[in-house]
Structures are given as structure tokens and as C-alpha cells.
Chains A and B, each alone.
Chain A
Amino acid sequence: MENILQQIGIENYIYLSTLLFCVGIFGVLYRRNAIVMFMSIEIMLNAVNLLLVAFSTYHQDATGQVFVFFSMAVAAAEVAVGLAILVAVYRNLNNIDIDNLKNLKG
């Protein structure tokens, strides 16, 4: 069986992942809604996952995909903790607007 990358090219995946990663960065910077920022971070992580899978294929090696599992676990854990913090913030502020969190500065 032929390597799929023969047709598409690893570079395309790199570009795609990079773009997706940048979109994630953009999202974190652009939005003030914390939950959407979380989502953007998920996009970033997914971009990397995609890259890992692409490289896994590139090397015809399973470890890359295994690593994606860990990455997913991490993503899940992060989201869990993140949402817990979010809830705590919401309880105090009644909103999750990140721009309200500017008390610590200077």
C-alpha cells in the first residue's frame, strides 16, 4: 500500500496544521469569552494532533498516534480543570468575560 503522503505531501499537512494552530492563537487573542478561548486552545491542540498523525504516517510509525492519545488525555484534563476554574469565576462575577479579570496588574 502506498503512503498517502505520496499524493498529498507532508508539507501540506504541516501548512494545514500550522494554519490551524494559528487560527487557535487568533481565537485566544480575538475573543473575550473564556469558553471560546478554551475552544481555541482545543483547536491548537488538535492542530498538533493532526500534525502528529501526519508525521506518524510519514514515518510509518505508531508512536505518533499513541502520543495523540496522551495529548487527548491532556486536553481532557485541561478542559476539566479549566471549566472548573471558569465556573468558579462565573460564581463570583456572573459572567465569564475575560476582560473583567484585570484586577491584578502593575
Chain B
Amino acid sequence: MDISFVLIILLFGAAASYFVGDKWASKAALIFSTAAFAATAYLTYKYTGGASVSYIKTWVENPMIILGFQADSLSLTMLLLTTALTPIIILATFRNSINNSRTFYALILFMAFAMAGTFVSVDGFVYYIFWELSLIPIYFISLLWGNGDWESRKKAVVKFFIYTFAGSLFMLVAFIYLYQKGGNFLNTTLYRAILTDKEQFFIFLAFFLAYAIKIPIIPFHTWQANVYQKSPTAGTMLLSGIMLKMAIYSIIRWQLPIAPKPATEYMYVFVGLGIAGVIYGSILALKQTDIKKLLAYSSLAHVGLIAAGAYTLTLDGIRGAFLQMLAHGFVVVGLFYAAEIISRRYATGEISEMGGIRVQTPKFASMFMILVLASVAMPLTFNFIGEFELLYSMAQTHIWFAVIAGTTIILGAFYMLKMFQQVMLGEQNAKPFADVTFGEAFVFIAIIAVLIFFGIYPKPITEFITPELERLVRIINRFN
């Protein structure tokens, strides 16, 4: 059993969900995604035992393309994130009535497949294929099962698609260009490619465009809020929980090791952009009236911080980015799920029409509160670990980075608590709010358990990923 097995499970699951019909699709999807998680967990276990679980095979001779799925600690971690979040996301959709649900679940699993592939590919070209593949399902999920009227939804989703597609095409060119230097697309080869400063600069830029749009880093973020708002919550979760992590992971895995010189040279620019995103997203979040949009901008702020951390090129920054990526993945899924529960019951996303929910459902309120706290990086949650390392790395780079980026803990608390207050607190809402069901609570508890466990004891993860990260950081800093 190697890592391709997980991909096959997901792909097969997509097909199976489609063919079992609308009634059973959700269950099939849940089963297969859970199976994928189990398989990943088993593989991780095997990997920590020293076994190799990679899958390498030549696909195309000329140009040399290798169907390589490498399992190292980083990709396994991301794979775990993906396969852990997928069942949670699927579970989160259970209460909704979805038309044509078999297609819906098939697309979700297919997307999980594509994203998993992105995380584990070692061949730049295969990686790119998965990268692009993941766009198609989310396009349809957002388009067909989204909210709001057709026209605005279409506009938002098409813009998202073209925008991200545009960005990644430049990455493709960069890959092909690198191929000319190296003779294959394997990342190890590409790391070794000898590039002039100018070449590095343009390759870096091409990658940056792809990632900056996907993450998104300002000013490439304009697709985000609208798409998050218009997508069905499952889509938003996939986007914010996993998909944008693809880009951050890729920065660490591809962009920085391949072309580190511009990153070193213009570090202030890229870190600055990330930090600007923190401030910008936070301040914009303060002004949002739609809960999903607010969360979208908060996500913009958080990923800005993550990106900034990654671009500091320090071990702390990159590890922080990695940890925060995991943490943010969980917390944002939880938050969007909470938003979904509220807006489903109240049939609106407008914050002004909410309020007075805590009186009716203290359980939900507590769980939501914990997620809010995690999102503002309360210590003892996973997010704190990540944010601390990120900010620490920025402090090492330049103290003002840390100070400015650190305002996230203030502004984050500001908008999140403001939102929580307006949404949950206050006199009892006239509209009744049904208490959370077992399934809903289960999703929350699973997420919260992960967040708190790793908040208290992150060592398993840090120990797991650190050697690999150290290796990457050495590669990244090979010119200094």
C-alpha cells in the first residue's frame, strides 16, 4: 500500500458517490472520505516506522514526466489535513437538502482527490495538473449549489475561475522553463537547476502570481469575498480550509526552494504584502454585514499572516506557516460551518438580522465561542502555536513587521468578538433557533478537539515536520 492508494480511494469514491444515486451519495462520500483518512493515517504510521510509501513511475518519456507521489512528512501532514477535513465537510452538508446530490458529493470527493494529489506530487508537472484539476469541481460546486442570484454568483465564480486559472498558467510556463534547465520536473531536480538572477526573478514572479491569487495576497484577493459568500458552505470550506493551503504549501514546497534569491532580495516586499493583507483584511472584516463575507476577510487576514511568515524564509516562519495552515484549516471550516448553521436556520447571511441566539442554544454558542477564540489565537489552541511562531519569525526579520502584523491579535479580536456579539448575544431573537443536532455537534467537537489537543501538545506535529522543513530551509537559504 502506498500513497497513491489514498488518491485512488478518493477518486473511486467520487465515482461511487455518483453512481449510487442521490439517496446514498452522501453516505458513500462519507465512507470513502473516512476510508481515505484511515488510509492516510495508516500510511503516516507506516512512514513514521521508516517504511517508504511513495509511488514513483515514469509517465511520459519525452518530455520526462514522472508520476511521482512522494510521502514525506510535509505532504503526509497536508494529506492528513485534507482527508481529515473532507469527511468533516461532508458531514457538515448532511442536514442540507441538495439537489442532484450525487454530482455534488462526487465533485467534493473529486476535489479532495485533486487537492490531495497537489500535496503529494513531486513532479512539477503532475503537481500542476492536480492544481488545475482542483479548480474544476469547485467551480461547479460554487456555481451550481451556491447562494444568491445567478447573475452575481456567475460573475463571482467565473471571475474566480479565470483569475486563478490565469495565475497558474504563468506557473506552468515557469515549470516548462525550468524543465529546459533540468530535464525533468522532479522537485529535487528543479531545486538544483542553475538559474541566473534574472531567471530566478521571473520564475519567482510567475509562481508568485499563481500563489498570490490563490492564497490570496492583496491586491489579488478580489475574487475571494464574493466567492466565499456565494459558494455553498461546503464549497467555502473546501476553498478556505484546504484549497488556499495548497498555495501556501506550494510556496514552501516549490516557489521558495526553486527561486530563493528574489525572495531574499525582495523579502520586505513579500512579507510586507502579506502583512498589508493582515491589516487590510481585518479592517475590511470590521465593516462587513454578511457573516460569510466577514469570515472571508478574516481568512484574508490570516492567510496574509501565514504567507508573510513563509516569506521570511526562516525556519520559524515556515514552520509557523505550516502549523498555522493546519490550524486555520480546521478553525475556518468550523467557523464557516457555524455561519452555515445560523444562516440556514435564519435563511439569511445578514448579521443585522441575527442576534439573541445564545439564549436559545447555549451549546452551540459555546462551541462557536471556542472557534472564535481559536481564530483569534487564544493560547492553548493550535492557532496560537502557529501565530506565535509566525510573529516570532517576523520579529526576527524586522521588529516592525511583528508589531504591525501583531495588530492581528487586536483587530482579529475586535471583529470576531463584534461579530459574535451581534450574531449570538443580546435579547432572545424573535425567530426560534433549533438546538444543534448530534451530527452538527460532532463536527464541532471533532474540530475543537483537534485544535485544543495540538494547542496544548503540538509536539507530534512539529517533531514530524521539522526535519523535512529544516532540509527545505537549508535549500532555500543555499545562496546565503
Direct contact of A and B (CB under 8 A): no
